[in-house]
Amino acid sequence: MPKPRLLSFLGLLTIFLSGALSGVFGYRLYEASAASGHNPAPGLTGTRKAHAQDPEEIKKRIIAEMRQRVKLDDAQVAKLHRIFDDTRARFDQIHQEMNDRGHAVWDHQVAEVKAILRPDQVPLYDQLRAEHDAARKRRQEQDGDKK
């Protein structure tokens, strides 16, 4: 496999595995809260409960459960905090890198489209893009209001 394809594959595999891991932890949190009668996010169903909560609260619950069930000592808990913080930082970095790469691809597309346009068409294309961007922002704001 060529190197860029391999890197893309490994990146997607990492994201998939992180999603699976998040799903497992989210399910464990859901089961633990359902069993205890504690509903951490009323009104939400399924795995959205874990995603709707503050990540720090999720981490605290996981660590508390591991401390109790796995019998971690204080030194292990401190190391577990560092492991979780490092993992979160690494996923944040991957997310940012993917966003940056996506923006670069998008910018390349815009440049290629502009290269095929006549000079009188470029302002019309820019106006069309601005309208699409405004519509996308409105949808994002509306989606944000629903959450």
Residue 127 in any domain: the answer is: yes
Residue 1 in any domain: the answer is: no
Q: State the average pLDDT over residues 105-116.
A: 96
Residue 124 in any domain: the answer is: yes
- Could you report the per-residue pLDDT of 57-71, keeping only the tens digit for each? 999 999 999 999 999
pLDDT over threshold 60, residue 31 = yes
Provide the domain limits for residue 145: 110-147
Residue 129 in any domain: the answer is: yes
Residue 146 in any domain: the answer is: yes
Residues 113 and 125 sit within 8 Å (Cβ to Cβ): yes
Structural domain tally of the chain?
A: 1
The fraction of the chain above a pLDDT of 70, given in percent, is 79
Residue that wins the pLDDT comparison between 111 and 143: 111
Mean pLDDT of the chain: 82
Residue 72 in any domain: the answer is: no
- Could you report the per-residue pLDDT of 39-58, keeping only the tens digit for each? 444 444 444 444 457 888 99
Longest dimension (CA), the chain: 71
Query: Residue 20: helix, strand or coil by DSSP?
Result: helix
* Separation between Cα atoms, residue 83 and residue 72, nearest integer Å: 14
